[in-house]
Every structure is written in structure tokens, then in C-alpha cells.
Structure 1
Amino acid sequence: MNRFKKILLLMFSITLFLNVAFAMLRSLRNTLAVVDLGSSAAVIPYFELFGALPGSILITWMLSGLIDRCSIQRVYYGAMIAFAAFFLSFTFLLYPLLPALKAGGEGASFLLQGISMGFYVVCELWKPVLLSILFFGFVMRRISPEEAKKTYPLLMLGASLGSALAGPIVTVCTSGSFGDALSYMGKGWSGSLTLMIMIIVLLGLLSACCFFYLDRLMNPLSAREIPESQCRFLEKVSYCFQSRELRLMGWIVIADYIAYSLAEVLFLEVLKQKYPDPKDYCHYLGILSTLSGALTIASAFLLAPTLLQRKGWTAAALATPVILLLTEGAFFVFLRGRFFTEQWIGWSADEWIQCLVVLGSLQYCLCRAAKYTLFDSSKELAYVLLPAREKREGKLVIDGMCARVGRGSASFLSIGLIALSGSVLGSALPAGILAIGVTCSWITSVLRLGDRLESTAASGKEAV
């Protein structure tokens, strides 16, 4: 096997391992927040706004300083050790003490929610820190735009396979027969949690080993290496606001999270009504990961290459918001159409909930498939096509902060809408209107950014 094929294999493996782990963490964090340690999906906006948003700003500031002072490889290893230590400590030291807190009073309940939020935030930071900022930041510096067009579809395939493989792993870990065979790890949901955390930590360590060998194979003095910036963090943020391309990219990322998150909270609440037991809830999320992973693989092989290579950047970047607009619109219509389904169609409450679960699952799977192939590929390709400084500063600020700002903004809106409406499901109408409006703005920004990239090509700069 030649050197370039070894590099591709290592990059593919890192993407695969990190995405399998993140998809598993996503199922765990939602189950713990909504069903196990929490009582409703209404807590998720609070976790996002008061936990994930400040956490992302803090971690981006820390990574900015660390990357300026240390190699990005060392930062990656340090971050992986920190994640592994947290998850192992939570599973073996903290979680066994939580049943006593569940039986406590109001103070114990407040502490329980704080612990749940801490776990949620760390799970949320896994992908943006390890994959988006550090790994793709490392790769972005070492390859040319021509190499990126050949490399990124393969890496997106690794992300697709990761999501597809995580589903069966979660399903097996939460199945009763498999849990009985590994009863020494704990009984019921506790045993399933322990087993999944061990697998996640193992995958993280395997990715670190692959990263080590990848660093040795790739030339550290590559011509694509970007000089380290010595400016302050706030100056980097200010620089991104001065670039029209980075402003558009930032809003696209923010709009993606706002539009998706507004519907996600409602879907998770509907899902809790269908599956009130933590183990069943997590089991169904595992099934959704399997289905979304299969659709992502199909998109990676069939849809993404066609749109990127034949139709261009704009068509590929438009696919995700268009799919979201259609599926999310159907979900909100039926969510608000309880009277219609009862009086005109004759559905019972259970049948209505089942219909919402199907529509929400369809949105969940199709949107994630489009996001992990078309959206991520077009976003990463746009970074490669930017000038050197915009490439570096934009990657750090947009992937590190804008994604969390988007979820934080959606959380702020959800908290306000739930407070005004009195319940999660009661906020469906205004949440749907906002989600659809933001998605339309996202589509407009993609069209403008596509024009800017074409203008750059016409002027003789790096282009699509």
C-alpha cells in the first residue's frame, strides 16, 4: 500500500471512530436529559443556552490559545485524554451515586440537573472539538483544493458509516438478552450505560492512535501549512466579521442549528410520550441512528458526488435546507393538527402520537443524512477554497462558536416559547413559523455565498 492510500485509510478511520462515538453519545445524552435524570425535553433548551453555549465559547477560546502555543497534534491528544477521563469518572464514580439524589428533595433535584447538564455539554463538545476544529483543522492545512475534492467525500463516507454503525451498537447494548450476558457491568439501563461508555472511550483511543500515525506520514513542512496566528481571540472573531464570505458561512451554520433544534426539542418530547422507559427510549434512538446512517451512506455514494461534481457547490449546499423545509413543515402541520386528525380522520391519541413519531423520525433521518454528506462536504470544501488567514480563523470561530451560538439561540427561543405556551408541545405553532423562516433565510445565504465563490473564481482566486 502506497503512502497516499495509507493516509486516506488513517483519515477515514479517524472520521469513522469519532462519528461512531458521537452518535452513541447523542443517544446517551438525550436519554439521560429527557428520561433518566430529567423529566421532560423542556430541559434541553436550558442545557444548550446555559451549558453548551458558554462551554463552546470557553473551549474555543482555550483551543485558540493552545493551538497558537502548541502543535495541533498535541492539543488533540490532550483533548482526547480529557474526554476519556470525564466519561470514565462519570460512569464509575458519579453515576452510581445518582439514585440517592433522585430520592432527595429540591436541592438534590437541582444538583441532579446540574450533573445531567454537565454530561450533556461534554457530549456536545466531542464532535466540534475533536473532529471539526482539531482533526479537520489539521487536514485542511495539509491538502490542496484539488486533493480536498477527492478526500472529503471519502471522509464524509466515514462519517456516514459511523452513524450507521452506532445504531446497531446502541441497539445491542440496550437489548435485554445482551445486558443479561454482561450483568457484571450492571443491571438494566445502568449496565447499558456502562457498556456504551467503555466502547466510546475505546473508539476515542483508537482515533488517537490513528492520528499519531497520520501525523508521521504527512509531511509537517507541507506547502499547504498555514502560518500560526499570534493575534488575540477577539481579534480573530472580529476578522471573521469583516469577511463577507465568513459572515455568510457563519449564518448558514447558525441557521442550520436554529432550524433543526427548534423541531428536535418537540420531537424528543413526543418520543418520550411513546417510550417513557430510558432503555426503550435509547433503544429507539439507536434504531434511528441505524436508519439515518444507511441513508447517509446512500447519499454519500449516490447524491453527494453527483451534486458536488456535476451541479456545483451551490446545489450541494442547498439540498439540506430544502429537505429540512419539507420534512419539518409536515411534522409541524400534524403536530398542530390534533383536532383535524381526531375529528376528520378519526385517529385516537395513540395513533396521533405514532404519526408524529413517524414524521419526526423521517425528518431526523433525512436531515442528518443530508447534513453529514452534502452540508458538511460543502462547508469543508468552502474552507479549503478561502485564502490562508480566512481559512484558519474562520475554521476556529465558525466551527467552534457559530454552531453553539445557533443552538443557544434556538434554546433561548424555545425557553421563551415554552414559557408563553405553557408546555413543550404547546409551543409548536410559533416554533414552526420561526424554524421555517430561518430555513428560508438559510437558503438565501447559500445562494449569496455561491455567487461570491463564483466571483472569486472569475477574478482568478482559489475557487470551486
Structure 2
Amino acid sequence: MGLWRSFLPMLSLFFCLSFVNTILDSLKDTLVITAHGGGAFVIPYLTVYAVLPVSVLFLFAFSAASHRMSRAALFNTILVVFMAFFGGFALVLYPNADVLHPHALADQMQQALPQGLAGFVGMLRNWTFTLFFCMAELWGDVCMGLLFWGLANEITNLSDAATLYPLFGLGANLAQALAGLVLKATTCRPSSEFGLALQLSMAAVIVIAGIAIALQQHITNEAEAKRRHHRHRHNSSHPMAMAADGSSASSSSQIDAGAAAAAMAAADAQFDAAEAAARKAKREKQQPSAWESIKVLGRSLEIRCLAVMSLAQGLCNSLMEFAWKCHMRLLYPNPSDFTAFLGDVATWSGVVTGGLMLLSPLLFERWGWRGVANTTPNMLLWGGSAFFAACITYQHLFGAAVAAGGAAAAGPVSLVLLQVLVMSGALLYVFGKGAKFSLFKPAEEMVYITLDEDGRTRGKAAIDVVGSQTGKSGGSLLQQALLLASAGSITGIMPVMFGVFFLMLRGWRSAVHELSQVRHYSYDSPSSSMEEEEEDAAAAAAAAGSGTLPGRQ
């Protein structure tokens, strides 16, 4: 029963964070792709020159704040900052976007710069949308990747993770499906009312984020109460407490009961003080610089393998989504239609991911950690190969005609093939995302449980926030170079993109294989990291001087 009491709130928390992420993920693409002077070619520049710098700044701020604030306070502070920005965007920035955006200056830059830099000009032209894009990207990496899984890793044993981690995503899948329906409903109106739809969506984001803060506080309080309960139960069976109970035969029952309660309360307080002192002494003894932290993390095989997997994942997704969204804009140039289609994609993503998560415990048992972790790269390898082949074929057949007059002007055959291509990309996106969150992500998080504090905090922050964005930035830099070389045409760059896509997926699979040789991540794995054992020993040694022998929490 205690396991489910912690599972259901975590399920609800993941629901809230994923609901917000789905809304933001769809709107950020709509804003930058369908804006005046925008398009899918803007995203590579956003990823490198906007999102990556913001992610690096956040990493340093997070590392500094984590030394001064508790995990719960850090969680609340970060969500409040997000809520303030999205509220300000809906009420101030978006309604005044035409005034705030320097269209005249951007037009002059566009005439002076090569056509391949149109994405860079579009990023500067629509700078408020650029800010929104950055914050929306950070929400997924920070709130879902770093904060949620950091909390889960703190309160979950590895023996339970193989079962619970895939099931945590059930809340996320339901959220994706519902958020997709919300997007579909709010955008089923004339395009002139898209601003109202965006404001309604941001209101929902703020409310759900507030609920997430309340859930996080409840989970933290429950975890602390559970920890104290286990310690209290251990102390009640300690020889000192038993001696106090034995001596009670010669005293009155009220005095004995009070003495026993006082002894157990003193034991709890002594252990708390000893544990706090041990953690503080360790932090004071080990205050490495940023560069020293990087070197320490670099010596960890697990961190290196996780970094390769994160980089490959970010780069491959960047390349695939760029190709998909380039063709999607041709089919849906209107922002309301574009958002409505993304709403359908989000709904089906939730349904597919939910089905895979229900199967995930069985797949973990039958395929093992390595088989499950390889599902996502294998799916992208085979599905992505077919998708890129279709993109290359379409561009060579109709690319010039579509660039000159649009998809409809290229003829009915072109329009039908474009619809098939966009739907194929949507299927790859849906199943790739489903496999990532239901299979690969739980397998990845199981590795973090066994790491020390540096690995679980600074290492995870570096990989989840910067590592993923670095992979996306690598893909974006490649796209920029290719767009410059091809004068903005995507026809000739697709084969090169596919070649890099294929090689990175091979590297991803190799990292999974190497990591699987280190440790058996499954139900019978140890439930704690080596550092937790060291901290318990330090706390026990500190408390031994008082005659109190604390137990494992």
C-alpha cells in the first residue's frame, strides 16, 4: 500500500508536467514556423544561438542554487519563474508582437545577407517568439527531465524502478492525449483569433504548473514522513529501547511509556543530526570547481555512455524533425491548421506511449535492460531510413515546383504525396517518442540511481539540460552549413542529413551495449548507490559516540 501511496502522486505530477510540455512544444513550433519571415529553417539557428546558450546559463545557475537551496525549494522556484514568463508572454509580449518585432531592420538584413541565413534573420526578427521557444525547450529538459526524474531517483529504490518508472509515464501519456484535444479545440476558430487561443493555453499552463508545485510538496512531505517512520520503527527495536522496555517491569506504566517514547525521540533526533552533519561535512570537504566536476564526471563510464546516448538522441531527433516540419509547413501554412495537426499528433503520442508503457514491465522482464534501451534507436534506424528515402524522392521530383508556387501549384500528385509524407513523419515521431518515454527513458533513469551524488545531480543536469541541447545544436549546425552551401534549398541536403542520422544511431546503440556490460540493471539489482552506503556509515559513526545505533533509512 505504501508503494502505491507514493506512486499515485508521482503519476499525477508527471501528468501535470507533461500536459504543460505538450502545450508548449506545439505552440513554440507554430509560432516560429508560421510567423512572418519564419519557417522550419529558423529552428537550427534557434537551437544553436538561443536555446544552447540559455541551457548553459541555466546549468551554472542550477549548480550554484543546488548548493544553497533544498531540492523542494529549487523545484518551486524554477516553476514559479516559468509561470511568470508564460503569463507575461500571453498578456504583454504576444499582443504587442508586431510593434516589438523589428521587421524593417530584418528586411534590410535579409537583402544584405545570403539566402542561407534566412533562418538567422527570422530568429532575430521574431525575437519574442525566440524567447518563448527557449523557455518551452527548457521546460521539457528541466521540469520533466531534471526535476521530475531527480525527485523520482531520490525516493525510489532500483528494485522498484523497473516496475514503477515505465508506469510513471501513464500520467504523461494521458496528459499528452488531453493536451492534444485542448489544442485541437482552442484552434478550431478563425486564424485571426489565434491570440485568444494562445492566451487560453497559457492560462491552462499556469494553473497546471501551480498544481504541480502542490503535488511536489505533498510528495516531499510523504517521503520525509516515510523515512522517519522507518527510522522510528528501527529505533523501537534497538537494544537500548528494549532495555528501557525491560526495565519498565519495575516502574509504573506511565513512566515507562514516557521513557521509551523519549528514548526513541532522542534516537531519531540524534540520527537526524548525525546524518545532517555527515552530509554537510562531505559537501564542505568536496566543493569542486565546475572544471573539476567535469573531469570527475568524465572519468565515469556510465556518464560517458549516457552522454553519448543523449547527444545522439538530440541530434537524430533534430534532423528528423527538421525534415518533417519543413514538409509540414508546406501542407499547413496557416498557424491554426498547423497547431491543430500538432494537437492530433500529441493525442496519438499519448495513446501510443500509454500502450507501450503498459507493456514495458513485461518487455523489461523478457528483453532485459539492453533490449529495452535499444528499442528507440532501432525504431528510429529502420523507420527513419524509410522516411528520409521518401523525403529525398519527393524533393527530387517536386522540390523545384513546390519552392516556386507552393504544394498545390505543383499538382494533385504532389499534394497527395506530401500528405503521405507528412503522415509518415508523424507516425515516426509518435512511435519514436512513445518508445523514448516508455522504454528508453526509464532504462536511462535506472542507471542514475546507482551513481553517486555528483552523478545524480550535476551529471544528470549536464546530460539532461546541456547534453541533449548540444546534440540538437550539432544537428542544427550541420543544417546551417548545408543551407548556406545550398542557398537555402533543402533538396540537396537531405542525403547528407540521412548519413549523419544513420551514423549517430549506430553510436547510440554502441553506447547502450557498452553500458549493459557494466551492471545488470534489473529487478535484482542493488537498491542503493555506493554513496548512500558511505553516508549511512558516516552517520552511524557520528552517532556511535552517543551510544545510539541508527538504522538504514
Whether these two folds match at TM > 0.5 is yes
Aligned residue number for residue 201 of structure 2: 196
Is this contact kept in 1: 2:159–2:524, CA < 8 A? no
Q: Which amino acid aligns with 1:191?
A: L
CA–CA separation in structure 2 for the residues paired with 1:171 and 1:456: 40
- Provide the rounded CA distance (Å) in 1 between the counterparts of 2:97 and 2:365: 52
Letter in 2 for 1:28: L
1:413-424 alignment, distance < 5 Å = 413-423=478-488
Matched to 1:134, the amino acid is L
Please give the secondary structure, in 2, of the residue aligned with 1:42.
helix
- The residue number in structure 2 matching 1:393 is 458
Write the mapping of 1:180-191 to structure 2, written as runs, cut at 5 A: 188-191=193-196
Superposed CA RMSD: 2.8
Partner of 1:126: 139
Partner SS, residue 70 of structure 1: coil
CA distance in 2, matches of 1:52, 1:93: 22
Matched, 1:157 2:162: no
Moved more, 429-438 or 222-231: 222-231
Number of the residue aligned with 2:188: 175
Identify the residue that residue 87 of structure 1 maps to in structure 2.
Answer: 86
Matches within 5 A, 1:210-249: 210-219=215-224, 227=279, 230-249=287-306
Structure 2 distance, partners of 1:455, 1:174, is 44
Partner AA of 1:323 in structure 2: M
1:87 to partner: Cα distance: 0.5
The structure 2 residue matched to 1:332, chosen from 388, 391, 403, is 388
Instruction: Evaluate the alpha carbon distance shift between residue 40 and residue 309 of structure 1 in structure 2; reply closer, same or farther with a 3 A threshold.
Output: same
Taking the aligned partners of 2:209 and 2:332, their CA distance within structure 1 comes to: 30
Match of 1:251 in 2: 308
Task: Indicate which of 162, 179, 182 corresponds to 1:166.
Answer: 179
Is 1:428 matched with 2:494? yes
- Give, in angstroms, the shift of residue 388 of structure 1: 4.6
Residue in structure 2 matched with residue 207 of structure 1 by the alignment: 212
1:348/1:390 Cα in 2 relative to 1: closer, same or farther (>3 Å)?
Answer: same
1:306 corresponds to 2:362: yes
Rounded to whole Å, the distance in 2 between the matches of 1:103 and 1:256 is: 35
- Alignment CA distance shift 1:156-1:336 (3 Å): same
Say whether the 8 Å CA contact 2:162–2:522 is kept in structure 1. no
Does the CA contact (< 8 Å) of 1:156 and 1:373 recur in 2?
A: yes
Shift of 1:162: 2.1
Match of 1:71 in 2: 70
Q: CA deviation at 1:263?
A: 1.4
- Please, what TM-score do these two structures have when normalized by structure 1? 0.90
- 1:88 and 1:461, CA in 2 relative to 1: closer, same or farther beyond 3 A? closer
The equivalent residue for 2:511 is 445
Question: Superposition pairs for residues 350-369 of structure 1, below 5 Å?
Answer: 350-369=415-434
Whole-angstrom CA distance in 1 between matches of 2:504 and 2:446: 23
Cα deviation for residue 111 of structure 1 reads 5.0
Alpha-carbon distance between aligned partners in 2 of 1:84 and 1:339, rounded to the nearest angstrom: 41
Is the CA contact 2:352–2:434 (under 8 Å) kept in the aligned structure 1? yes
The CA distance in 1 between the partners of 2:71 and 2:54, in whole Å, is 20
Amino acid at match of 1:42: F
| Count of paired positions | 450
- Aligned residue for 1:337, secondary structure, equals helix
Partners of 1:457 and 1:214 in 2: CA distance: 24
Q: Percent sequence identity over matched residues?
A: 26
Shift of 1:244: 1.3
User: Does 1:9 find its partner at 2:8?
Assistant: yes
- 2: distance between equivalents of 1:253 and 1:300? 21
- Please list the CA deviations of residues 112-153 of structure 1 after superposition, one character each: whole Å capped at 9, or x if unmatched: 422221110000001222222222212212222113223212
Give the letter aligned to residue 373 of structure 2.
A
CA 1:212–1:38 in structure 2 vs 1: closer, same or farther (change >3 Å)? farther
- Tell me: CA distance 1:334–1:238, structure 2 relative to 1, closer, same or farther (3 Å): same
Give distance in 1, aligned partners of 2:201 and 2:417: 33
- 1:172–1:404 CA distance, 2 compared to 1 (3 A): same
- Deviation string, structure 1 residues 272-305 (Cα, Å, up to 9, x no partner): 0000000000000000011111110110112x22
Residue 408 of structure 1 deviates from its aligned partner by: 1.2
SS class of match (1:118): helix
Residues 456 and 462 in structure 1, CA contact (< 8 A), matched pair in contact too: no
1:265 is aligned to 2:270: no
Q: Read off the aligned partner of 2:509 and give its amino acid letter.
A: I
Partner of 1:148: 161
Q: How does 1:260-299 map to 2 (within 5 A)?
A: 260-299=317-356
- Unmatched 5+ residue regions in structure 1? 180-185
- Which amino acid is 1:195 matched to? L
User: For residues 446-461 of structure 1, what are the structure 2 equivalents within 5 Å?
Assistant: 446-454=512-520
Distance 1:458 1:280, change over 3 A: closer
* Distance in 1, Cα, partners of 2:97 & 2:394: 38
**What is the one-letter code of the residue matched to 1:356?**
L
Which segment drifts farther, 148-157 or 260-269? 148-157
SS in structure 1 of the partner of residue 40 of structure 2:
coil
Relative to structure 2, which stretch is displaced further, 101-110 or 134-143?
101-110
Q: Is the 2:123–2:130 Cα contact (8 Å) retained in structure 1?
A: no
**TM-score, normalised by the number of residues in structure 2:** 0.76
Native 8 Å contact 1:327 1:362 kept in 2: no
What is the aligned counterpart of 1:370 among 417, 435, 438? 435
Matches of 2:292 and 2:418 in 1, distance apart? 49
- Alpha carbons of structure 1 residues 90 and 14: separation in structure 2 relative to 1, 3 Å: same
* CA positional deviation for 1:214: 1.1
Partner of 1:322: 378
Q: Aligned-pair distance for 1:357?
A: 0.6
The reply to whether residue 115 of structure 1 matches residue 128 of structure 2 is yes
Of structures 1 and 2, the larger Rg is shown by 2
Distance 1:420 1:17 in 2: 43
- 1:82 alignment partner AA: V
